[in-house]
Structure 1
Amino acid sequence: MSHLLELRDRLLRAVLVVLVAFLVLFPFGNDIYHFIAEPLMAVMPEGTSMIATKVASPFLTPFKLSLIAAVFVSMPYLLYQLWGFIAPGLYAHEKKMAMPLLASSVVLFYLGATFAYYVVFPLVFRFFTSVTPEGVAVMTDISEYLDFVLTLFFAFGLAFEIPIATILLVWMGMTTPAKLAAKRPFVVVGVFVIGMLLTPPDIISQTLLALPMWVLFEAGIIFSRFFVREEEEEDDAETEEESSPVDASPVVASVATPPVHAQAADDDDEEFKPLSDEEMEAELDRLEAELDEEETVWHSEPDEIKENNEQDPVDRKLERINRLREDMDFDAARKLLYEVLVEGNDEQVVVARNILSQLDD
Structure 2
Amino acid sequence: MDGENPFENVGADPDGARAQSDGGATVPASGERNVDYDYYDEDDGFIEGPESDQEMPLADHIEEMIKRLGVVILSMALVSVLVLPFAVDLINFIWYSILGSVQSSVTSPRAYQPLALVLARLKVATLAGFVIALPVFVYETYLFMRPGLYKHERRYYLAAVPTSLVLAFIGVAFAFYLVLPFIFSYFVNYSEQAAEVAFGLSETFGLMLLLMGFFAAVFQIPLLIMLAVMMGLTTRQWLADRRLYFWGGFLGVALLFSPDPTGLAPFIVAITMVTLFEATLLLLRWTQR
Following superposition, the deviation at residue 95 of structure 1 comes to: 1.1
More helix by share: 1
How far apart are residue 22 of structure 1 and its match? Answer: 3.2
Cα deviation, 1:127-179, whole Å, max 9, x if unaligned, reads 10111154522222212123212331233233323323433554576754234
Distance 1:17-1:198 versus aligned 2 partners, 3 A rule = closer
CA distance in 2, matches of 1:111, 1:133: 32
**TM-score, normalised on structure 2?**
0.62
- Equivalent of 2:83 in 25, 28, 42: 25
Paired letter, 1:96: R
Task: Figure out how many residues of one structure are paired with residues of the other and give that number.
Answer: 229
SS at match of 2:191: coil
The residue that corresponds to 2:273 in the other structure is 213
Give the CA deviation at 1:220: 1.9
Q: Could you tell me whether the CA contact under 8 Å between 1:152 and 1:198 is conserved in 2?
A: no
AA in 1 matched with 2:90: I
Other-structure match for 2:46: none
Rg comparison, structure with higher value:
1
Asked if the contact 1:48/1:138 (under 8 Å) is kept, the reply is no
Q: Pick closer, same or farther for the CA change 1:222–1:125 going to 2, 3 Å.
A: same
Partner of 1:43: helix, strand, or coil? coil
| Structural mapping, 1:242-261, within 5 Å | none
Q: Is the 8 A contact 2:171 2:217 kept in 1?
A: yes
1:177 correspondence with 2:217? no
Cα 1:21–1:175 shift into 2, 3 Å: closer
**1:19, 1:173 → 2: CA distance?**
34
- Secondary structure of the residue aligned to 1:131 is helix
Q: Does 1:84 align with 2:143?
A: yes
Match of 1:140 among 199, 202, 206: 199
Instruction: Tell whether the 8 Å contact from 2:116 to 2:202 is kept in structure 1 after alignment.
Output: yes
TM-score by length of 1: 0.51
Say which of 157, 163, 167 aligns to 2:226: 167
Per the alignment, residue 37 of structure 1 pairs with: 95
Structure that is richer in strand per residue: 2
How far off its partner does 1:18 sit?
4.2
Provide the C-alpha distance between the structure 1 equivalents of 2:224 and 2:134, rounded to a whole number of angstroms: 19
Mark the CA change 1:222 to 1:100 in structure 2 (over 3 Å): closer, same or farther.
farther
Gap runs ≥5 in structure 2: 1-58
Deviations 1:188-213 (A, max 9, x none): 66655654554436475345334432
Query: Which of 164, 182, 186 is the aligned partner of 1:123?
Result: 182
1:79 offset after TM fit, Å? 4.1
1:152 is aligned to 211
Aligned equivalents of 1:178, 1:15: Cα separation in 2 = 36
* Shift, 1:28, TM fit: 1.0
User: 1:54 aligns to what SS in structure 2?
Assistant: coil
Match of 1:59 among 89, 114, 118: 118
1:221 corresponds to which letter in structure 2? L
Post-superposition offset of 1:37: 1.6
Alignment of 1:1-361 (within 5 A): 17-38=75-96, 39-44=98-103, 46=105, 48-77=107-136, 79-134=138-193, 136-168=195-227, 170=229, 176-184=235-243, 191=250, 194-199=253-258, 200=260, 202=262, 204-225=264-285, 229=289
How far does residue 117 in structure 1 lie from its aligned partner after superposition?
0.8
Q: Residue deviations 1:278-319, cap 9 Å, x none?
A: xxxxxxxxxxxxxxxxxxxxxxxxxxxxxxxxxxxxxxxxxx
Which moved further from structure 2: 56-65 or 24-33? 56-65
Contact 2:153 2:231 in 1 (8 A): no
1:25, CA displacement in angstroms?
1.7
Q: Quick one: percent identity of the two aligned structures?
A: 29
CA 51–175 in structure 1, closer or farther in 2 if over 3 Å, else same:
same
Name the SS of the counterpart of 1:128 in structure 2: helix
Q: Give the letter for the 2:178 counterpart.
A: V
Structure 1: give runs of 5+ residues left out of the alignment: 230-361
Root mean square deviation, CA, Å: 3.7
CA-CA distance at 1:122 after TM superposition: 0.9
